[in-house]
Structure 1
């Protein structure tokens, strides 16, 4: 009898251990870690912010479709995103670990849309090996990888029709001497970044023209009573009188993925997360604080990445349509040749502020998921030596991200206010058009017999 009890105890121990290991794939923190892996690849390989948003959105959608296939309380994005065709269904009667499928799909798509080739495949193999050692049967593992691969293939076929490849060979932005028109800025004097990004297919927006804003104030630097002159002077005066707190805010939301440092004849880059990468980190922080389960965490990342992607497309249309000159150029030419912004001016037109648009869009989506007045501490920049900041809500963080551009000396007030307006409109539209979690009524209808 003692031997029987001992054997039962051992078997229960083995089962508990194995079950604990297997359930690690249900751990939302594993998904957050996986998103961070892609975020690091994006950072170290200098992906510009709008291209970074493309990397995140396809990887997250692939993961989400695995979740939706295995959890009847979530519904596919096919049809909700009008141009996304129906995706492969799991084969009836075959057991699949859908959380593991989501992780593997995210990694494979993330690997496919970034470079260098194979950069995430060591991590893929690590995840695969963990599944084997966790006690997942060979049959379930095979079913899971087969289903994951079918989703990956479908997502990649769909991604190749978004017109991204065609924009790689599109013409550069034309530089002219027209007053008020954007020209390259120091220290790199780079060409206008991604002038054709508005031609990339959006996810939810009908087109890049769907949301418009008032337009920048008329360029008039000679009339000291003009709205434009006053906004230029606000940038100049603010930059010359920054408080320690304003400097911290500017540094915290700088999010320059490729800051060029020039020391004499030596030039080198300093890398940080792009604005898109920063907001991906915030999703993870919020999901962990809210104790969201694995599927809800994937859904939050997915809808947030859609807001980032569509936000950049709409914003870039406005940027290159208005082609507004940056404050640094105006101040140096007309007011003070020695003035410099606190942070580095990025290489594209000023109106509207990209960070304002995508931050406001993301904040609306995250408020939809986690509620308003959701306080959190953003530790995203700790790894770069920039201390954390705390916020009472996502909207407060988005507004601070917006004003950080005035403190940094790289945007006018109109860029920020109108960018924030556009972002809110985009985020609100996405939350109304995309329904990931089914309602109780929808769930009840699923239980009804087919007619």
Structure 2
């Protein structure tokens, strides 16, 4: 009778702590904190990567079919093993480890404490035995501490005090854009340690077209006019596309003398939501869901580093600046131009990288509806595959008026290469067991 009751209790609390939707909810909680505190997109990607890696390492410790990332990603050498594995509920520990790292890489300090207490209460209310509870909390903390110690060596802290971007009047060079005229965001991000890429410039793209705005037969002139004409004749569908993928973490709205900011998820945050949507649609189990989030966030992390390396190499002018100077001084893009150089399109790079990893997990040609933007009053969009969504995300920047078309196309190719390398280098599931066979 005692044995039967123990099995019953285990089954009851496992229904709560092993629920993959609970993990997605936990990632969304961090996403909300990132949004509220206005983290720039590349820093947001760092937050997601380290927190998801911590959770992944916990499930890897409890499931031998998931290899540890130690020795697979740069600088991560060892992860502590549980002393008493039979006293650890690994999914519950994964949730707590994610939250502890999430707390450490965001601010204000303790942002996830209330949510963590809710998770602990859920486990206790569901009948988790005290020894399992304590063992899980202890192991979660052990793994989180290990990941945080490793994360501190990625050069992020050092570049907090690096020099600002120098603005010059050189023709074709990026300068701050209205209405914020903000300093360039994270001009030293390429100095952050990559996770999988050999270097930030491993997938250095072709040079952007020569800046030649007065020559009506030049590649640049035609690219500039394509953006202007697109924005000047937007259809409702194109406006929806631009709004849906805007993902501006801090938009300054100006109405006369009144100024106020509105916030949305960053591009990486948007893709974290998409992972959750598709994992739920596919009814993925807890460990698969964690693994999909982790590998996608790793691809996003390296994709931002790769993209920022090129942005601050080419320091390319934005369409808005060129059009205002040579075509129409009153022209404005449909969405707000973000504060960093144009080439290549960040959204195109990171979306393509994420899509490659997600296609590997969930398959190609998977129809899904992205409901991520409903909370911002933007209707959902449906896609036939994540790759189709990534392509649209990139091209939406042309309709938004903030990128040249070639920047989106080259950016997509860069992102695909990053995603493919992440899949090639990282073994995050024993393929011999059959789940993650490549498409």
| TM-score tier after normalising by the smaller chain length | over 0.9
Match of 1:310 in 2: 302
Match of 1:252 in 2: 244
Match of 1:390 in 2: 382
Please report how far the alpha carbon of residue 129 of structure 1 lies from its aligned counterpart in structure 2 after TM superposition.
Answer: 1.8
Please report how far the alpha carbon of residue 22 of structure 1 lies from its aligned counterpart in structure 2 after TM superposition.
Answer: 3.3
For 1:305-346, what per-residue CA distance to the aligned partner results, in whole angstroms no more than 9, with x for missing partners? 001000000000000000001000111111101100000000
* Match status 1:297 vs 2:292: no
For 1:179-220, what per-residue CA distance to the aligned partner results, in whole angstroms no more than 9, with x for missing partners? 000000000000000000000001000110100111210000
Classify 1:164/1:93 alpha carbon distance in 2 versus 1 (closer, same or farther; 3 Å).
closer
How many Å separate the matches in 1 of 2:166 and 2:254?
Answer: 26
Classify 1:300/1:250 alpha carbon distance in 2 versus 1 (closer, same or farther; 3 Å).
same
Match of 1:112 in 2: 104
How many Å separate the matches in 1 of 2:432 and 2:247?
Answer: 40
Please report how far the alpha carbon of residue 140 of structure 1 lies from its aligned counterpart in structure 2 after TM superposition.
Answer: 1.1
* Match status 1:77 vs 2:74: no
**Residue 42 of structure 2, aligned match among 43, 50, 54:** 50
Unaligned runs of 5+ in 1: 1-7, 444-451
* Match status 1:165 vs 2:165: no
TM-score (norm 2): 0.96
* Match status 1:25 vs 2:17: yes
Match of 1:419 in 2: 411
* Match status 1:401 vs 2:371: no
* Match status 1:287 vs 2:279: yes
Match of 2:134 in 1: 142
* Match status 1:429 vs 2:421: yes
Match of 2:78 in 1: 86
* Match status 1:331 vs 2:323: yes
Classify 1:324/1:420 alpha carbon distance in 2 versus 1 (closer, same or farther; 3 Å).
same
* Match status 1:216 vs 2:208: yes
* Match status 1:381 vs 2:373: yes
Larger Rg belongs to = 1
For these two proteins, the number of residue pairs brought into alignment is: 435
Please report how far the alpha carbon of residue 441 of structure 1 lies from its aligned counterpart in structure 2 after TM superposition.
Answer: 7.3
> 1:332·1:339 contact (CA, 8 Å) conserved in 2?
yes
How many Å separate the matches in 1 of 2:300 and 2:289?
Answer: 17
Match of 2:194 in 1: 202
Please report how far the alpha carbon of residue 17 of structure 1 lies from its aligned counterpart in structure 2 after TM superposition.
Answer: 7.0
The secondary structure found in structure 2 opposite 1:262 is strand
> 2:65·2:433 contact (CA, 8 Å) conserved in 1?
no
> 1:323·1:351 contact (CA, 8 Å) conserved in 2?
yes
Please identify, of 325-334 and 16-25, the stretch whose mean Cα deviation from structure 2 is larger.
16-25
How many Å separate the matches in 1 of 2:193 and 2:151?
Answer: 9
Classify 1:263/1:355 alpha carbon distance in 2 versus 1 (closer, same or farther; 3 Å).
same
Please report how far the alpha carbon of residue 442 of structure 1 lies from its aligned counterpart in structure 2 after TM superposition.
Answer: 11
Match of 2:349 in 1: 357
* Match status 1:193 vs 2:185: yes
> 2:74·2:194 contact (CA, 8 Å) conserved in 1?
no
How many Å separate the matches in 1 of 2:388 and 2:207?
Answer: 24
**Residue 55 of structure 2, aligned match among 56, 63, 69:** 63
Please report how far the alpha carbon of residue 148 of structure 1 lies from its aligned counterpart in structure 2 after TM superposition.
Answer: 0.8
Please report how far the alpha carbon of residue 439 of structure 1 lies from its aligned counterpart in structure 2 after TM superposition.
Answer: 2.6
Please report how far the alpha carbon of residue 20 of structure 1 lies from its aligned counterpart in structure 2 after TM superposition.
Answer: 2.5
The secondary structure found in structure 2 opposite 1:432 is helix
Please report how far the alpha carbon of residue 13 of structure 1 lies from its aligned counterpart in structure 2 after TM superposition.
Answer: 9.2
* Match status 1:235 vs 2:232: no
Unaligned runs of 5+ in 2: none
> 2:16·2:123 contact (CA, 8 Å) conserved in 1?
no
> 1:22·1:135 contact (CA, 8 Å) conserved in 2?
no
Match of 2:257 in 1: 265
> 2:88·2:133 contact (CA, 8 Å) conserved in 1?
yes
* Match status 1:345 vs 2:337: yes
Match of 1:3 in 2: none
How many Å separate the matches in 1 of 2:56 and 2:66?
Answer: 9
How many Å separate the matches in 1 of 2:14 and 2:118?
Answer: 14
TM-score (norm 1): 0.94
> 1:375·1:391 contact (CA, 8 Å) conserved in 2?
yes
Q: Give the superposed CA RMSD.
A: 1.8
Please identify, of 355-364 and 21-30, the stretch whose mean Cα deviation from structure 2 is larger.
21-30
Classify 1:135/1:170 alpha carbon distance in 2 versus 1 (closer, same or farther; 3 Å).
same
How many Å separate the matches in 1 of 2:404 and 2:262?
Answer: 25
How many Å separate the matches in 1 of 2:434 and 2:182?
Answer: 52
How many Å separate the matches in 1 of 2:5 and 2:366?
Answer: 40
